[in-house]
Structure 1
Amino acid sequence: MRRWWHGPGDHHRTPLSSTSRNPGRLSVDVRPGSDPDSVVLPRDRFQTPRRARSVSLGVVHLRGLRNEGAPSGFRPDIEGLRAVAVLLVVVYHARLGPFHGGLVGVDVFLVLSGFLITSLLIRELQTSSRISMIGFWARRAKRLLPASSVTVITTLLVASWMLAPLEFRGLGHDALAAAGFVINIVFMHRGNDYFAADSVGPSPLLHFWSLALEEQFYLVWPLLIALTARARRSLRAIGILIGVVVVLSFGAGVWYTKRSPITAFYVLPTRAWELGVGALLAVAGSQLDRIKHAACVLLGWAGLAGVIVSSLVINDRTPFPGVAALLPVLSTAALIAAGSTSKRFTPTPLLSFAPLQWIGKRSYAIYLWHWPAYVLATARWGTLDNGQAAVTMGVAIAIAAVSYALIENPIRRDPWLAGRPLRPLALGGSLALVAAVLAIVTFNAPIPGGVGTATAPTLTPTVPVAITPTTSDAAPSRPSDPDRDPQPESTTLPPPTTAYPSLDSLVAVGQTNLEASLLTKLLPSNVRPDIRRVKRDRGQVFLDGCVLTFGSTDLGTKSCVYGDPEGGTTVALVGDSHAGHWFSGLNSVATTNGWQLHVLAKMGCPPEDINRFRNANLRPDCLPWRDNVIRRLKALKPDLIIVSHFRYNFRLKTVAQRRGGQWEELLTKYFRELKEISSRVVFLEDVPPPPNLVPSCLLRNRKAVNRCTFSPTESAIPELRESEKRATLAAGITYVPTYNWFCTEQRCAVLVGDLLLYADDNHITNEAARYFAPFLEASLVPLLQRIT
């Protein structure tokens, strides 16, 4: 799964540190037209009398501080570093080049923001002996809110034309959270909600998570700095405070990255250390001027190399942020420190390259506009190739340049807004309010229904017969050698005493239903479940919490026994949410036949020991859960074990691994482990995954729903299916194929009559599971005839 992670820091002109002539003075950009937020490396200790302390509304006073300042220069190295950071994020999102870790541009921005903001606060303490909270927040509002609010408003307006109705309504919720700068919390909860994350595509406002994180930082940080300065009145005390924050936050980040990586990625407590590293540089002040020139040269080039290398070596399989974030964070810190004194032989001349300076000045605007442009273009025209992605990003940069010229820069330099702090607060708040109102209108927008009608599909074979399945429908890939190959037990049983429709006859009727549905062009108005509320169509097993969520491994907290609780036959369903989505059909079969159905399932976790081949950043709790499942199965001793799960092998790194023996070997090993527990084990093949979110596709194509059908060959790698078949044969378990339940030889359907088959792009609906109950019964009942 590709991660859509983004976010820059605050973007301001950054001043050069003070000259070495007077290391006790503070550097401030005093050129005509300079940004009042442009500062500084602050100097040394406060000189505050012990008795001088007072607090008033919105202001923390520290009387008696000297008002020191000196001419300063502009920091072109930091402006260029901003350009590098935003370009890394852009090429990462556009999938251009080898920068698979371009998301580290966000970390670069966080360090720069911590450096800048803390420098501003210390500058204010040293020059006026106080921190004006209202003044600080007003400057942040003037700097961030107008441009971000206009981006949200524009994105909503354009999305009303380019997004499907379900996606557009969902964007309204995101826009409201973005306007309130809490969207990182929303995405943290959504990322930890398996079905919420799976039911929507990437949000055009996903990149606002880092802006929200920084705004939360801005609310807390000046209060901590002011209160520490008021109590101790020294930079040393502030430095100690920041050091404690860095250590605690880094520790929390490492801990949560291992246990709840999505939480670690999005929230301030696990990211504050990155801002804190920049803040420590601000507190270091004149100490940075003491770094020798040779050390600066080494630090500078090592820092730039570290940023670039981290963007190349970090990828979707890297646990992040965690320890891996140290490389881009410390590299950025090294670059800032190196540029504080001499420019000669350092990266500063390279970073001062005119195009980088131009991009750096507009980095905030580029960051705001590039991601909505890419997501909306993809939603409208499909997956973009490299050329289309490059053109899309070029257009986004052009829009950002216009936004910078007409909105961001004029507002930042407007003297009327600078006159009173309430003015920028009122302007920023008003624009954010407009964005919030439009967001509320958006998520209450009506969703159109179907335009036709359809009848419910039926499964009535002409001749009911008894069924006798074989062990597997797969043939060995090479001639069997009894001396080398394990010989599977035969699961062929005598004819059952009760006649059931054969699986072959059901498939034949199902194929007729599929062929008729593939000719349908109109979305039925009576589609089941209601396509506008498909997220609510979950089996009882999910509502009861018996498909464990992220972070949970304990199987003993709930009684997850269904079917006939008093039945004499015990059946265990093992797997992930793809085992769970068959539940309603299996529960019907279990109830009818007097089986106890025990559910042992966990979202996002394969039952096999294949965790190391997946994204190591996602499911650290899978292996403990798997061990608990094996222990439970050994205690339960079920008469039949049913295994089903998502085809996780898609996440293997190379085609060789996908096609090679490692995946097959792991499956075989796990199946044999289960066969030692129960003599009857069934592997229920995963469903063919559609290439798009089916409900959104259908609503976008209400009069041409056939556009949402897909080819069986594009939905899975054939080698994977063959590997699964060979693994079941080698382990001597039963393989139940499902592709011909959904697909003809040419196309796979997403509707059958009035029935919606898919809830998203990989899970079937609860109604579909009920429809397939006869298929499941025909596949499973004969295996238990001897018992029943």
Structure 2
Amino acid sequence: MASRTTSWAYRPSLDGLRMLAMYLIILFHTQVPWIQGSFIAVNLFFVLSGYLVTNVVLTEMERTGRLDLGRFYARRVRRLLPAALVAIVGISLVFLLVAPVVRRLGLVGDAQGSLLYVANWRFIAQANDYFAPNVDKSPFLHFWTLSIEEQFYVVFPLLILLLARSSRRGVMVAGLAVVTVASIGAQVYWATADPIHAYYGTDARLYQLSAGALMAVALRTWPVRLPRVGARAVAVGGMALFAVLCFSAVAMSQSNRGFLGTAACLMIVAGLMLDEDQPLAKALSLRPVVYLGQISYSTYLWHWPAILVMGMFLDVGPVTMAALAAVIATGLAAASAELLEQPVRSAKRLNRFRWRVSAVGVACSVLAAVLVVPTVLEREQPPAVASGTGGAAVGKLAAAHSDPLPKDVDWDRVDRDRGTEQTCQVDDLDRCVLHEGSGAHVLLVGDSHARMMTAMFEQLAKKHDFTLSTNIVSGCPWQENLRNTQSSPKRQERCDEARTGWYDTVLPRLDPDLVVVATLPRDHGKWHQRLENRDGSDLGLERSLLRATRDTLDKIEKVADRTLMVQSVATPRSFVPNDCLTSAKDPDDCVVPLTTTNRPSDAYYLAVAADVDAAYTVDLNPAFCPAGPLCSPVVDGMVVWRDNQHLTASFVAHQRAKVWRLIQQTGVLDALDGL
């Protein structure tokens, strides 16, 4: 029996495809390792959008002989804008509660770009790397896809009207084919010139939308007749190709995966349209599947910020995170559909106000971008939501277990277990070198927190045969423009010598491949008065830290291939574990709770890493607190803490294998020769 496309009525199986695409994207964003090619699910969204909007436009033109632009734009606004507006404002409010102001300041432009549907171009300008591991991504990052779609919706009907001036449908096919080929050319060009542009750019992504539109016009112009077995083979073959491309094991470039993914999507949609009675179509048309597809737009709006927020407070695996994100985002989407989207879309009264609906919608977005978002995100207040425990006594209540305290501990030796402090100048570069190997050159820069890691890095250098140099001065932040006035005058002078101009003169002479920076967090409380800018500027603590971090990274980036910023090492601060160990009968009484409160310094590092391709961050707390969230004061017979702000250098070195694995997981060592 032959099958042909005769009806352009609603097909529930296409909503089922939306559902499939949505949850594949969640798997990608939660970094489920075996399916990291599933970012091509975005292609499925794009192809479906191009295909469906083209059928809407052509159906109206065939029925009425014209296209009512006011009605078209009003329907798009009513469909997309209310949910997006509420989501963006809601996300801003959530991050007001959980993120420090410095991190939020960088999000203002992201939210504004999302409201105005130019987010993709903003992220191109910021050069965010969508694939970089352990990068703190903006909660508005996913709006890049919606921006491309909205830009397409604005221009596409005008293009159709222009092409429709010719009575021959072949002209429309040719016009869309030209657009598709031009966009493919842009993708090929940008893939080598600027991969970020290739991923986010409208010009480089348009082919996926126009390909869907082209298929819709082609099927209407030249009705296809296929045996049912042929239609089913096309759909199933496309689905099989799509599934293969989703798996990480299939190695290929982003562009090639995109091209093949788009072809697979076209095959799936065409096969379903040519035979709606096939098993695949019936499976995708199941009521729960269709419902999830119908609310997939709002699910998409909420899933990414949900992942980011949960990541701040939960330490769970990718699959668990994906499940939690799916449940939360779907629940919010269902509420949005019921309470907001459906009432707005079904309000018959609004049908009379076509252009005015569009104008009001755009005005609301502009007002939110200009007034609401900056007011919320720029508000000077610390995070209101924090998790974690408050004192050592919690360890006993939680039945935490610590190793027995060794007998005859030399506490004086523990106090002196600080690591090596060493720096150098142009005329004595050898003083910086702790170990000379035949592989890459690693430079460790920082203060006492970097110092307590020197023994560990030296042992790693010997094992992995890389050269290790240091520029370490206790009490001296690694950022060039920051001065710690709490230090003694002599210490401040030494810090000035180790930082001022050092990155311009000595760093190029050392010529490291990787620079690792670590410092005690000086981001709140007393540091508002004790941390100054060397240039005399008074920007406030948070802005000073962010600016100094960015400026110093810029200098490092000119010399080194990569920079790795070590996030805040969790310390007890409120009590001294060793004082507790010398008096307590049970080491369990001295367990240290590992707080999960967001540290501003970490937010600065993560925010900067999102803007700088060669900058990475690493959280070493899982290595130093293996029994987290409660940290034992004694591990493998070793005293963990030197004081309430530092680990012992010996314990840090003892954990070197775990630290090395955490560093490897960041990806910072990839493509570095000799590591």
TM-score band by shorter chain is 0.5 to 0.7
- Following superposition, the deviation at residue 403 of structure 1 comes to 0.8
Q: Mean alpha-carbon deviation: is it higher for 237-246 or for 412-421?
A: 412-421
Query: In 2, Cα distance between the equivalents of 1:99 and 1:534?
Result: 38
Q: In the superposition, relative to structure 1, how do residues 406 and 240 fare at CA in structure 2: closer, same or farther (>3 Å)? A: same
Give the distance between the partners of 2:149 and 2:320, measured in 1 at CA: 33
- For residues 384 and 201 of structure 1, the distance between their equivalents in structure 2, rounded to whole angstroms, comes to 17
Relative to structure 1, the CA distance from residue 326 to residue 690 in structure 2 (aligned partners, 3 Å threshold; closer, same or farther) is same
1:267 lines up with 2:195 in the alignment: no
Choose which of 212, 221, 225 in structure 2 pairs with 1:290.
225
Alignment-derived partner of residue 524 in structure 1? 527
Structure-2 separation of matches of 1:263 and 1:357: 34
1:222 aligns with 2:157: yes
Report SS of the residue matched to 2:373: helix
CA distance in 1, matches of 2:278, 2:285: 13
Amino acid at match of 2:228: H
- 2:238 alignment partner, one of 295, 303, 323: 303
Instruction: Return the offset for 1:259.
Output: 1.5
User: Structure 2: how far apart are the matches of 1:79 and 1:520?
Assistant: 48
Structure 1 pair 158–273 and aligned structure 2 pair: CA distance change class (3 A): same
Cα deviations by residue, 1:65-98 (Å, 9 ceiling, x for unpaired): xxxxxxx4x3122111111111100121123462
Alignment match of 1:348 (pick from 281, 302, 307): 281
If the length of structure 2 is used for normalisation, what is the TM-score? Answer: 0.62
**Distance (whole Å) between structure 2 residues aligned to residue 394 and residue 327 of structure 1:** 31
What's the CA shift for 1:159? 1.4
**Of residues 119, 123, 138 in structure 2, which corresponds to 1:203?**
138
Equivalent residue, structure 2, for 1:625: none
Pick aligned residue for 2:258 from 320, 325, 335:
325
Give 2:332's aligned residue: 399
Q: Secondary structure at the match of 1:206?
A: coil
Distance 1:209 1:699, change over 3 A: same
Gaps of 5+ in 2: 384-419, 439-468, 478-486, 496-517, 534-540, 571-595, 605-616, 625-645, 654-665, 669-675
Q: Distance in 1 between matches of 2:268 and 2:564?
A: 51
Offset of residue 411 of structure 1? 1.6
One-letter identity of the residue aligned with 1:400: A
Determine if the alignment matches structure 1 residue 411 to structure 2 residue 344: yes
Residues of 2 paired with 1:154 and 1:177: CA distance?
16
Kept in 2: contact 1:163–1:376 (CA 8 A): no
Question: Aligned-pair distance for 1:689?
Answer: 3.0
Quick one: distance in 2 between partners of 1:505 and 1:434? 49
* Cα displacement (A) at 1:471: 11
SS in 2 for 1:281: helix
Q: Which amino acid aligns with 2:272?
A: G
Task: Determine whether 1:697 maps to 2:633.
Answer: no
How far residue 225 of structure 1 moved from its aligned partner, in angstroms, is: 1.0
Find out whether 1:152 has 2:117 as its counterpart. Answer: no
1:404 and 1:383 map into 2 onto residues whose CA distance is 29
Distance in 1 (CA, whole Å) between partners of 2:520 and 2:602 is 18
- Which digits, 9 at most, give the CA deviation of each residue in 1:150-183, with x for residues without a partner? 1111111121111122122222221111111111
Rounded Cα–Cα distance in structure 2 between residues aligned with 1:367 and 1:518: 35
CA distance in 1, matches of 2:156, 2:91: 31
- Deviation digits for residues 242-264 of structure 1 (CA, Å, limit 9, x no counterpart): 00011111011011012201011
Tell me the residue number matched to 1:55.
none
Q: What is the distance in 2 between the residues matched to 1:504 and 1:239?
A: 64
Distance 2:621 2:342 in 1: 53
Corresponding residue for 2:295?
362
Give the residue type in structure 2 aligned to 1:412. R
Indicate the SS of the match to 1:204. Answer: coil
Q: Secondary structure at the match of 2:67?
A: strand
Q: Which of residues 151, 176, 179 is equivalent to 2:112?
A: 176
Preserved CA contact (<8 Å) 2:129 2:196: no
How big is the shift at 1:448? 6.6
Corresponding residue for residue 368 of structure 2: 435
Q: Residues of 1 paired with 2:356 and 2:475: CA distance?
A: 71
User: What letter is aligned with 1:536?
Assistant: R
Cα distance in structure 1, aligned partners of 2:269 and 2:249: 22
Cα distance in structure 2, aligned partners of 1:162 and 1:401: 24
The match for 2:14 is: 78
Q: C-alpha separation between the residues in 1 aligned to 2:603 and 2:235? A: 54
Deviation of residue 473 (structure 1)?
Answer: 4.4
Conservation of the 8 A alpha-carbon contact between 1:103 and 1:311: yes
For the residues of structure 2 that align with 1:221 and 1:227, how far apart are their CA atoms?
10
Partner residue of 2:27? 91
In structure 1, the residue corresponding to 2:150 is in which secondary structure? helix
Secondary structure, in 3 states, of the residue corresponding to 1:98? helix
1:165 aligns with 2:176: no
The whole-number CA distance in structure 2 between the counterparts of 1:198 and 1:188 is 18
Query: Within 2, Cα distance between the matches of 1:111 and 1:139?
Result: 20
Contact residue 92 and residue 99 of structure 1 kept, 8 A: yes
Match of 2:210 among 261, 264, 276: 276
Selected match of 1:244 from 175, 178, 199: 178
How big is each residue's C-alpha offset from its partner over 1:267-304, in whole Å with a ceiling of 9 and x where there is no partner? 11111110111011110234344233222011010111
Q: Secondary structure at the match of 1:432?
A: helix
Structure with greater helix share of residues: 2
Alpha-carbon distance in structure 1 between the residues aligned to 2:71 and 2:382: 47
Q: Which has the higher contact order (CA 8 A, sep 6+)?
A: 2
1:336 to 247, 269, 274: 269
TM-score by length of 1: 0.53
The one-character-per-residue Cα deviations of 1:515-558 (angstroms, maximum 9, x if unpaired) are 99689984501324443144433798x8xxxxxxxxxxxxxxxx
Identity across the alignment (%): 26
The Cα of 1:124 is off from its aligned counterpart by 2.3
CA distance 1:392–1:337, change in 2 (3 Å): closer
CA contact (8 A) 1:93 1:371 kept: yes
CA contact (8 A) 1:110 1:274 kept: yes
For structure 1, the residue ranges without an aligned partner over 5 or more in a row are 1-17, 28-39, 41-71, 450-458, 478-502, 543-576, 582-600, 603-642, 647-685, 703-707, 716-740, 749-760, 764-788
Aligned to 2:122: 186
Map 1:464-483; keep pairs closer than 5 Å: 469=430, 473-474=434-435
What's the offset of the Cα at 1:130? 1.8
Q: Distance in 2 between matches of 1:255 and 1:506?
A: 44
Which residue of 1 is the match for residue 484 of structure 2? none
d(CA) in 2 for partners of 1:85 and 1:516?
42
Of 167, 182, 191, 1:257 maps to: 191
Distance 2:112 2:35 in 1: 32
Which whole-Å CA distance do the structure 1 matches of 2:547 and 2:129 have between them? 13
1:291 match: secondary structure: strand
Distance 2:667 2:303 in 1: 29
TM-fit CA distance, 1:127? 1.8
Please tell me whether residue 212 in structure 1 is matched to residue 215 in structure 2.
Answer: no
Query: CA offsets per residue over residues 585-635 of structure 1, 9 Å max, x none?
Result: xxxxxxxxxxxxxxxx65xxxxxxxxxxxxxxxxxxxxxxxxxxxxxxxxx
Report if the CA contact (8 A) 1:318-1:324 is conserved: yes
Contact map agreement 1:378 1:384 (CA 8 A) in 2: no
CA gap of 1:268–1:521, structure 2 versus 1, over 3 A, is: closer
SS at match of 1:89: helix
Counterparts of 2:432 and 2:58, CA distance in 1: 74
CA distance in 1, matches of 2:600, 2:290: 46
Would you say the 8 A contact 1:80–1:351 is kept in 2?
Answer: yes
Taking only aligned residues, the RMSD between alpha carbons, in angstroms, comes to 4.6
Q: Do the aligned partners of residues 260 and 691 (structure 1) sit closer, same or farther apart at CA in structure 2, a change above 3 Å counting?
A: farther
- The alpha-carbon distance between structure 1 residues 295 and 85, as it changes in their structure 2 partners (threshold 3 A), is same
Pair 1:266–1:221, CA change in 2 (3 A): same
CA distance in 2, matches of 1:712, 1:743: 14
Which position in structure 1 is the counterpart of 2:53?
Answer: 117
